[in-house]
Amino acid sequence: MINFFKNLFKKKQEVPTVQVTGFRDGLLSFRSADALNLHEMMVVTPTPVGKMMTKVDIQSYDPGNQEYLAKVADNDKTLESLDIDLSKIARVTKVLRVSSRDLPSYMGLTEEIALSGLRLSSSEPLTVGQIIELTIEFDCNKLGTRKVKAKVEWSAHKGDGSCHSGLRFHDLDSITFRKLAQYIQSRR
């Protein structure tokens, strides 16, 4: 009987309102006045067409920018209402091995790769602003293994204890750029 009354008068859990700050490396970035857990949940965000409720899968929290990073379903209308056109972003979700003397344990795995850079999973956070040389092992004979330089734009802890980081390619040569574009197009 006591549990009945507790549930009856229990404050209903509200859907948090978030402020979208951008879309980077395949993840929606936003701020919230509430502390949020790293899992799938509903959030409300103001858009030019009114408030929208959307389901996000919160991947990490970036304390440097005080932003949450979350996956949003491809068919979600929130991104359209924020004028974010995913079709113009040449990227593919792909797990590829990456090695570098600058990475924790000398290796990481891509979560996503784009013409502008990649999102990399690693055991520890990377140093923001650092330019690192990476060797990416593609699963395609035409590309094989490619050495590239990339700048760490952000790095955050994920809910499972690992980390992920957004890296922008730095001085990518035209041949690698062209081959990368063909690779992404063939994997989409």
Give, as one character, the DSSP assignment of residue 49. Answer: T
In the chain, beta strands by DSSP E: 18-24, 27-32, 40-47, 50-62, 67-72, 91-93, 97-99, 107-114, 117-122, 131-137, 145-158, 163-170
Judging by DSSP bridges, how do beta strands 27-32 and 40-47 pair with one another? unpaired
Q: Using a cut of 0.85, tell me whether the model's pTM lies above it.
A: no
Confidence of residue 119 (pLDDT cuts 50, 70, 90): very high
Please report the pLDDT score of residue 187 as a whole number.
79
Contact 18, 44 (CB under 8 A): yes
- What's the pLDDT score for residue 164? 93
pLDDT at 87: 45
Q: Pick the residue with more confidence: 9 or 110?
A: 110
**Whole-number Å distance between alpha carbons of 121 and 99:** 12
The predicted-structure confidence for 55-105, as pLDDT tens digits, reads as follows: 889 999 888 878 898 888 666 666 655 655 544 556 788 899 999 999 989
* 3-state secondary structure string across 33-46: CCCCCCCEEEEEEE
Phi, psi of 79 (to 5 degrees): -65, -40
Confidence of residue 49 (pLDDT cuts 50, 70, 90): low
Give 111's pLDDT tier (boundaries 50, 70, 90): very high
Q: How confident is the model at residue 26 (pLDDT cuts 50, 70, 90)?
A: confident
The CATH architecture assigned to 91-187 reads Beta Barrel (2.40)
pLDDT band, very low/low/confident/very high, at 2 (cuts 50, 70, 90): low
How is residue 44 written in tokens? 């409300």
Give the three-class secondary structure for 98: strand
Contact (Cβ atoms closer than 8 angstroms) between residue 98 and residue 135: yes
Q: Contact 29/19 with Cβ under 8 angstroms? A: no
Q: Look at residue 176 in the predicted model and tell me its pLDDT.
A: 82
Q: Which CATH architecture has domain 2-88?
A: Beta Barrel (2.40)
